[in-house]
């Protein structure tokens, strides 16, 4: 789960809001590409780091409250400062020493996709009511808006439906509609802004159109725009269904960052999550 999120994030990060020419030329899956703003090839960004924070909350004995999530976001950033965050949030994270500090300083009125991008791990929560509550709590730290909270709930619920209900991909939109009232589109084609709801439509469109992770990655990047978030969420969800063939190129497996919080750490975290939430086990067995 986290490994695939990171691969989607790191692959997409090289193309985030880049020109169309770069996508045409380099979206070949041959290798990770660096981003002109300083993100090195194979390095993941905020999407993965905040998903790690959510996963660490799930592994702890803490309650899933906004304060606990806020602490985790600050802790994960402080121990491993990296690029890819929105400027405003990165500035705050640099200033803040803990979650309470962050919550005091932040104006959490964003309708962007930051709450959705870190929500795949929330699908591990077995109780749907607790899942909805956790989605809300984690979202309101930074995205205390109807769109921010809804987007987190939708992603978390898609993840949950794949994990626990063994839902077919084709069934997801109807299940999401029933659970959240949100109608996922499967015909997104435009560049994806950082917008929460656009991101959901793009993720669902790419997820429904493919059954292999390689083609999924290509499609996510081809949208253009905020493609690292789209690819991170889509790859995370694809890792939770046997309908998806795990055909990630070897170059992307070996090219993912290998530092202290790199591929090994992500695999360890996935194993720890599967120990705590055995429903994840069968999917980790498919991990390359």
Q: Which residues would be at the binding site for Mg ion (CB under 5 A)? A: 45-47, 84, 228
Nearer to Mg ion, 85 or 277 (CB): 85
Which is closer to Mg ion, CB of 84 or CB of 148?
84
Query: In terms of CB distance, is 44 or 277 closer to Mg ion?
Result: 44
Please check whether residue 110 is in contact with residue 148, taking contact to mean a CB–CB distance below 8 angstroms: yes
Question: Measured between alpha carbons, how far is 247 from 67 in angstroms, rounded to an integer?
Answer: 39
Are 112 and 196 spatial neighbours (Cβ–Cβ below 8 Å)? yes
* 92: β partners: none
Smallest separation (angstroms) from Mg ion to the CB of 197: 18
280 DSSP 8-state letter: G
Tell me the closest approach of the beta carbon of residue 229 to Mg ion, in angstroms: 6
Contacts of 150 (CB under 8 A, 6+ apart): 180, 182, 196, 197
Q: What residue number has its CB nearest to Mg ion? A: 45
Q: Which two tokens stand for residue 103?
A: 């919550």
Please count the other Cβ atoms lying within 10 Å of the Cβ belonging to residue 126. 12
When the beta carbons of 120 and 169 are compared against Mg ion, the nearer one is: 120
Closer CB to Mg ion, residue 114 or residue 255?
114
Q: Closest distance between Mg ion and the C-beta of residue 201, in Å?
A: 18
Are 253 and 6 in contact by the 8 Å Cβ rule? The answer is no
């Amino acid at each position: 789960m986290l490994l695939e999120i990171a691969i989607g994030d790191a692959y997409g990060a090289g193309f985030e809001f880049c020109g169309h020419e770069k996508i045409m030329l380099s979206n070949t899956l041959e290798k990770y590409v660096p981003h002109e703003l300083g993100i090195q090839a194979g390095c993941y960004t905020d999407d993965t780091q905040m998903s790690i924070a959510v996963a660490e909350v799930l592994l702890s004995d803490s309650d899933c409250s906004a304060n606990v999530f806020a602490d985790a976001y600050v802790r994960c950033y402080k121990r491993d400062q990296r690029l890819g965050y929105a400027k405003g949030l990165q500035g705050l994270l640099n200033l803040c020493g803990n979650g309470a500090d962050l919550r005091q300083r932040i104006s959490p009125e964003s309708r962007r996709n930051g709450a959705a991008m870190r929500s795949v791990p929330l699908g591990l929560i077995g109780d749907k009511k607790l899942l909805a509550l956790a989605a809300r709590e984690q979202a309101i730290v930074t995205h205390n808006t109807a769109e921010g909270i809804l987007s987190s709930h939708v992603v978390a619920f898609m993840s949950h439906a794949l994990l626990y209900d063994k839902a077919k991909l084709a069934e997801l939109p109807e299940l999401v509609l029933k659970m959240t009232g949100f109608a996922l589109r499967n015909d997104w084609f435009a560049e994806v802004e950082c917008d929460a709801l656009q991101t959901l439509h793009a993720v669902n469109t790419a997820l429904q159109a493919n059954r292999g992770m390689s083609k999924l990655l290509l499609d996510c990047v081809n949208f253009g725009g905020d493609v690292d978030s789209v690819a991170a969420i889509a790859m995370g969800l694809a890792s939770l269904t046997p309908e998806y063939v795990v055909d990630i190129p070897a170059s992307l497996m070996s090219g993912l960052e290998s530092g202290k919080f790199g591929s090994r750490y992500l695999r360890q975290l996935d194993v720890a999550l599967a120990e705590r939430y055995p429903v994840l086990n069968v999917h980790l067995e498919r991990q390359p």
